[in-house]
Structure 1
Amino acid sequence: MTAEETANASALSRRALLLNGAAVAAFAVLGPATALAQADATTLEADDIHPFRVEIPAAALLDLRQRLAATRWPDPETVDDHAQGVQLAKLQSLVRYWETGYDWRKAEAKLNAFPQFLTNIDGLDIHFVHVRSRHANALPLIITHGWPGSVFELLKVVGPLTDPTAHGGNAVEAFHLVLPSIPGFGFSEKPKGTGWNPGRIARAWDVLMKRLGYREYVSQGGDWGAIISDAMGRQAPPGLLGIHVNRIERATTIPPDIAKALRSGDPAPADLTVEERAVFDEAMAFLNKGFGYAAIMGTRPQTIGYGLADSPVGLAAWFYDKLADWVFTRGEPERALSRDEILDNITLYWLTNTGTSSGRIYWENSAGNSKFAPIAIPAAVTIFPGEVYRPPKSWAERVYTKLIYYNRVDKGGHFAAWEEPELFSAELRAAFRPLRRP
């Protein structure tokens, strides 16, 4: 068998495993009011959308427990805080629960409670959750997760967004919801070559929304999801009404003199306001002490990837470190998310072996064009207080030239939808209200 035949056989085996038993279960969940029922039949036949169900083999879960039990631990840190990284006692406590108390099957049930699908776009199988609202005139919305996240971080907003009347909202504020997994993350296929940068993913998301029959829609994201939504905004494909982000790209919004000071390590310009000076100081601290993970994955994703693929504890430490840094309850992710929620996400990365492939988006973005054009379509921004970078409105307007909504809320961090799903959902209702058709 040639190398090409071996690769094709492997891809077919993967698809067969993923799609096994999916159709009946997924369509039973969907019911009659599905987007598939609304979409053009010839498009579906040509573009091949498959129902999907998560069914991880028991052998993979046994292998995980055995690896956890065989962990070789390092010496403890030599400081009393997490200045050197994840503290040994905290990680050992989490791993002990992961090995003896955590139940992945409950995580599977969370995912399988929602309609999931695979479709091939630009040569890759893309996994996505698709939930249509029961309310008439719901606005189609695609939300993109980030790193080290997944669709798990978005599941708690499905109810509030698709059924607002059950969560303090009005029927006229409902959304049809599409939650894709970024290529190389979760159950989406891993790119076999280069080029899957945010711009290419943005174009794929437009294909996905139109393949589902949505002629008009809006996009939302945090972390990489925000960068992908920004790329969609710059591309401005027909039918994209606007975007909302809960994370603003620093490189596109910091004024040039401030950016120069940050790059060189110089003091802040003397004419900054109190608010701007606080943003400068936080950005400087992040670049000096919190940016190492991105520098590694932006330059050596393959090198760090060996440890992430071989050691579940190594993977957990790499992710837990950023959870601790970025949640609103700084240093204490368990105060913002349950241990099960944290482990649902980490276990998904482990079982799909996507620690390495997910990191490559940093490399792809670093290899791309660093110049960013302004975004001229309607854009909305929510600033959560635990976000790493919280620029003032005047800075946001440097890139979002048609800023229709800007709001600062009083709780929630980098993983806003995960940490504060009700507040996050309320923000999206308010942000996109001006873009709804009568």
Structure 2
Amino acid sequence: MNEIRPFRIEIPQADIDDLRRRLTTVRWPAEVAGTGWERGVPLPYLKELAEYWRDGFDWRAREAELNAYPQFVTAVDGQDLHFLHVRSANPEATPLLLVHGWPSSVVEFLDLIPLLTDDYHLVVPSLPGFGFSPLSGPGWGNLFRVAGAIAEVMSRLGYDRFAAQGGDVGAGVVGMLAMLHPDRVIGTHVNGPAPYPFGPPVELDGLSDAERLRAERFNAFREDGIGYLVQQATRPQTLAYGLADSPVEQLAWIAEKFREWTDPAAELPEDAVGRDRLLTNVSIYWFTGSGATAAHILYEGMQAYRQFMAGAGEHQQDDAEPPALPPGAVAVFAADTSVRHLVDPMGTVVRWTEYDRGGHFAALEVPDLLAADVKEFFAGRR
């Protein structure tokens, strides 16, 4: 029942051939002359990227790179969970979870793993509905449930206590782990937490220059960059047909976010993240069909968050002292929209660091900065 099974990524050649066929017979849309990224991914850019995906990208090489790390699958509460488990040669190493977000996968950490294995035993799960953790049914958008399942994985691996790091959805999972198991979590490290996207705009009065810039970026995102989330949070099944049937739709859906959320100094996604890294991530979404299931996860996650916040409001008058949480750290990168008093209203974050490089996909964009920040925070907390 608690079996941990070895796993290797082995995409059938027929699936690779089918991808190339679909990329050859694309029915391209028209584009309004004189427009650019403000209306979505420009047609010339996506055509060229799709052609490289078809003719220049080597999936088998990227598959081998992923398979160089030990991988496993175990079932928790009826849900298969895939994960990388990279043990350090250091007998004093600390177990460390690395939890990806959307639109990402375990690929996010490929350049970070070698920078951390001197000090950490790394466990890198694919979230339910993402990558090689195919969705078993409804309810896995509830991050408390996801956190509980990942804690069970850590128990099966023999890790009674562990550290945790994540961004985006992964940051939410890390936060829930700390709430569910404060006695087991040594500390939490998250990157780029943002205000609630469906909430009000951020007030600019009283902010520092750096915070004002991030708040203005958030307010702009809330006004004209939130369409993807509205669609996934309200009608994921309608979106799912395009993501499951068209690799170009899946490519555009993800490439747009890599352009909008990466370092502002990067003009194109591949200026911030290597093109092969980007396409490895997109390929996993395509081959596993997880563009569609991830949309359902985000739908359920938004429903669960509303219920959680409603319950928190009902209990605001409770006199009970909240449980003590493990120490937490936040790393903020150049493209982030983090405003401290909004994401840390109680002042519980013990380390808050801001960088002038990187963005939403910090582990891919600036693994050197993220690795150093993680090491500095967890030093002495083993």
The answer, yes or no, to whether TM exceeds 0.5 is yes
Higher relative contact order (CA 8 A, sep 6+): 2
Distance 1:77 1:231, change over 3 A: farther
Matched, 1:327 2:262: yes
Q: What residue in structure 2 maps to residue 181 of structure 1?
A: 126
**Residue 118 (structure 1) aligned to one of 73, 87, 91:** 73
Look up the match of 1:390: 338
> What amino acid is the match of 1:333?
P
If each structure's helix is expressed as a fraction of its own residues, which one has the higher value?
Answer: 1
Cα offset, 1:251, TM superposition: 3.0
Equivalent in the alignment of 1:28? none
The correspondence of residues 340-355 of structure 1 with structure 2, limited to 5 A, is 340-355=276-291
> 1:20-419 alignment to 2 at 5 Å?
46-163=1-118, 174-251=119-196, 260-262=200-202, 268=203, 270-328=205-263, 329-370=265-306, 371=308, 376-387=325-336, 389-392=337-340, 394-398=341-345, 401=348, 403-419=349-365
Residues of 1 paired with 2:155 and 2:201: CA distance? 44
User: Contact between 1:77 and 1:87, CA under 8 Å: does it hold in 2?
Assistant: no
SS for the counterpart of 1:327 is coil
Distance in 2, matches of 1:314 and 1:275, equals 35
Aligned length: 368
- 2:285 aligned counterpart, secondary structure: helix
* Matching residue's letter, 1:356: A
Equivalent AA in structure 2 for residue 277 of structure 1: R
Which structure has the greater CA radius of gyration?
Answer: 1
Question: Is the Cα contact below 8 Å between 2:251 and 2:282 reproduced in 1?
Answer: yes
Q: Which one-letter code corresponds to 1:52 in the other structure?
A: F
Computed over aligned residues only, the root mean square deviation of the Cα atoms, in angstroms, reads 2.0
Query: Structure 2: how far apart are the matches of 1:59 and 1:327?
Result: 34
The worse-fitting range, judged by mean Cα deviation, of 377-386 and 192-201 is: 192-201
Q: CA deviation at 1:103?
A: 1.1
- Contact map agreement 2:215 2:338 (CA 8 A) in 1: no
Q: C-alpha separation between the residues in 2 aligned to 1:261 and 1:62? A: 46
Q: Is 1:227–1:249's contact at 8 Å kept on the other side of the alignment?
A: no
Q: Which amino acid letter does the alignment assign opposite residue 295 of structure 2?
A: G
Output the CA distance in 1 between the equivalents of 2:204 and 2:92: 49
What are the ranges of 5 or more consecutive residues in structure 1 without an aligned counterpart? 1-45, 164-173, 263-267
1:309-363 per-position Cα deviation (integer Å, ceiling 9, x unaligned): 0000011011111111011144411111222111111111111111100111211
Q: 1:61 to 1:269 in 2, by over 3 A?
A: closer
Counterpart position of 2:319: none
Change beyond 3 A, Cα 1:101–1:298: same
Identity over aligned residues, as a percent? 40
Mapped partners of 2:105, 2:159: distance in 1? 23
Q: Cα–Cα, structure 1 residues 260 and 307, in superposed 2: closer, same or farther, change >3 Å? A: closer
Residues 1:400 and 1:178: Cα distance change in structure 2 (over 3 Å): farther
Task: Give distance in 2, aligned partners of 1:261 and 1:144.
Answer: 28
Query: CA 1:56/1:213 → structure 2, altered by over 3 Å: closer, same or farther?
Result: same
| Structure 2 unpaired stretches of 5+ | 313-321
CA distance in 2, matches of 1:356, 1:426: 35
Contact 1:186–1:348 (Cα < 8 Å) also in 2:
yes
SS in 2 for 1:56: coil
